[in-house]
């Protein structure tokens, strides 16, 4: 990994990114590839497959979705970082690019310097989910159980170096408990472990457990966000439970390689924001647990900077060593 990760002001980075000019009127003249660094069914994949066909109709050029899984998204990110800066290879990134610099010692990219923000697409909401056998019906009751027997409660994550694990660490730090982290290989394995009772709790994206919660095989105690979610309107937020500072949405956004011409970045941004503002698209992805939350390049750059600083502190306080 580079010795330092740039936390320069987003405006500075954007000014450098937009220094070049290209005739966007002629773009695109060939197929565009959306690189999704996750599996099908992820929030990034859902959005890419909704946006792609509309861009195809508007531009008359195919948009191909390419799933590149591995290393918490880093394999897919590097596929884009190393691509020509011409607007034909687009990263559909998750907020894992704001955690990866602090978790991987051999990371080959700087998300601020090597990528140019295009548009924020959506947010995904995290919930604190428990096995129904757990006595706690509220987050405050789970905290009380954890304080009564420190280290006895176990919480799953989809991997040792994932946002789910960091959210657990943030929760532990905020409320002063010691819920033991148990990493699994992927969300499916973690959910299975939680349903079987191998672990008692888990922070996970709401859309990944909608069927299980609906069937009563899992229970959501609270939402780690500043607003309740439409799928579980009766479930309170962490803040409503008296726990401040554990609101942390996942997000997905488009980025392109550094030095991509500014006219192309602007056109791709404007087209994308126009597409995701359509009510039909919003309704379609909402049914799949994804909330459209558009933002332009400047706001996305500022969000990335804030999240980088936030997770750097969480990782340091938890004593997590980069691997």
Q: Which domains does the chain have, with CATH numbers?
A: 10-124+250-318 (3.40.190.150), 126-241 (3.40.190.10)
Q: How large is the average pLDDT for residues 113-121?
A: 98
The number of C-alpha atoms within 13 Å of 167 and in the hemisphere containing its C-beta is 29
Task: Determine contact, residues 293/122, Cβ cutoff 8 Å.
Answer: yes
Q: How large is the average pLDDT for residues 271-293?
A: 95
Q: How far is 36 from 54, CA to CA, in rounded Å?
A: 17
Read off the tokens for 133.
């056998």
pLDDT of residue 18: 47
Q: How large is the average pLDDT for residues 228-252?
A: 93
Query: Edge-to-edge, what's the strand order for the sheet holding 291-295?
Result: 63-67, 32-36, 89-94, 250-257, 115-124, 291-295
Q: Is pLDDT above 70 for 24?
A: no
pLDDT of residue 19: 45
pLDDT of residue 309: 96
What is the per-residue pLDDT across 53-81, written as a single tens digit (0 to 9) for each? Answer: 999 999 999 999 999 988 878 999 999 99
Q: Kindly report the pTM of this predicted structure.
A: 0.87
Alpha carbon of 242 to those of 144, 165, 176, 237: distances in Å? 13, 22, 14, 9
Q: How large is the average pLDDT for residues 241-249?
A: 91
What is the per-residue pLDDT across 38-47, written as a single tens digit (0 to 9) for each? Answer: 888 888 999 9
Query: 6 pLDDT band (50/70/90 cuts)?
Result: low
Q: How large is the average pLDDT for residues 207-220?
A: 93
Q: Is pLDDT above 90 for 89?
A: yes
CB atoms within 10 A of CB 99: 25
Q: Is pLDDT above 60 for 14?
A: no
Alpha carbon of 185 to those of 159, 167, 193, 248: distances in Å? 6, 17, 11, 22
pLDDT of residue 71: 81
Q: Is pLDDT above 70 for 230?
A: yes
Q: How large is the average pLDDT for residues 92-110?
A: 94
- Please give the mean pLDDT across all residues of the chain: 91
Q: How large is the average pLDDT for residues 76-96?
A: 97
pLDDT of residue 17: 46
What is the per-residue pLDDT across 143-175, written as a single tens digit (0 to 9) for each? Answer: 999 999 999 999 999 888 888 999 999 999 999
Q: Is pLDDT above 90 for 5?
A: no
């Amino acid at each position: 990994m580079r010795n330092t990760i740039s936390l320069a002001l987003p405006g500075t980075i954007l000014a450098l990114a937009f220094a070049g000019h290209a005739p966007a009127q002629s773009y695109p003249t060939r197929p565009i590839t959306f690189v999704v660094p996750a599996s099908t069914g992820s929030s990034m994949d859902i959005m890419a497959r909704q946006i792609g066909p509309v861009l195809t109709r508007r531009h008359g050029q195919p948009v191909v979705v390419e799933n590149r899984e591995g290393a918490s998204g880093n394999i897919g990110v590097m596929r884009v970082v190393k691509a020509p800066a011409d607007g034909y290879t687009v990263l559909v990134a998750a907020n894992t690019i704001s955690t990866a610099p602090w978790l991987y010692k051999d990371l080959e990219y700087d998300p601020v310097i090597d990528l140019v923000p295009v548009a924020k697409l959506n947010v995904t909401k995290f919930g604190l989910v428990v096995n129904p056998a757990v006595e706690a019906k509220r987050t405050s009751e789970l905290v009380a159980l954890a304080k009564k027997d420190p280290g006895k409660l176990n919480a799953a994550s989809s991997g040792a170096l994932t946002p789910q694990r960091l959210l657990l660490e943030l929760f532990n730090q905020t409320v002063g408990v010691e819920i033991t982290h148990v990493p699994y290989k992927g969300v499916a394995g973690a959910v299975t472990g939680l349903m079987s009772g191998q672990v008692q709790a888990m922070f996970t994206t709401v859309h990944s457990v909608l069927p299980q919660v609906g069937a009563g095989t899992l229970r959501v105690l609270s939402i780690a966000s500043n607003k309740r979610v439409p799928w579980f309107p009766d479930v309170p937020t962490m803040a409503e439970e008296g726990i401040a500072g554990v609101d942390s949405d996942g997000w997905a956004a488009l980025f392109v390689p550094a030095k991509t011409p500014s006219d192309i970045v602007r056109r791709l941004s404007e087209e994308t924001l126009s597409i995701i503002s359509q009510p039909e698209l919003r309704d379609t992805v909402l049914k799949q647990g994804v909330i459209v939350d558009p933002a332009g390049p400047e706001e996305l750059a500022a969000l990335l900077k804030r999240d980088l600083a936030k997770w750097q502190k969480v990782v340091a306080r938890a004593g997590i060593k980069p691997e």
